[in-house]
Amino acid sequence: MYICICNALREKDLRATARCHAGDAETLYNRLGCRPQCRQCLEDADQIVAEERSAVPA
């Protein structure tokens, strides 16, 4: 499933990046080689990042 239509960014790729790297969704987008454009996805993306990190044992 796509989390960001503007960048054709998949949720699974955002989740995988969130497990390995610090920062908010926008920072992770940059790591994935994209930049927010319309920004409509960022709230959901930040929620996915937080959800993914809370699921990983410290």
Tell me which residues touch ligand FES (CB under 6 A).
4-7, 36-41
Closest CB 35 distance from ligand FES, rounded Å: 8
Nearer to ligand FES, 6 or 16 (CB): 6
- Residue closer to ligand FES by CB (options 30, 40) is 40
CB of 37 to ligand FES, least distance (A): 4
34 vs 56 by CB, closer to ligand FES: 34
What distance in Å separates the CA atoms of residue 22 and residue 37, rounded to the nearest whole number? 21
Q: How far apart are CA 42 and CA 25, in angstroms?
A: 7
Q: CB of 29 within 8 A of CB of 9?
A: yes
Helices and strands per DSSP (H, E), number in the chain: 3, 2
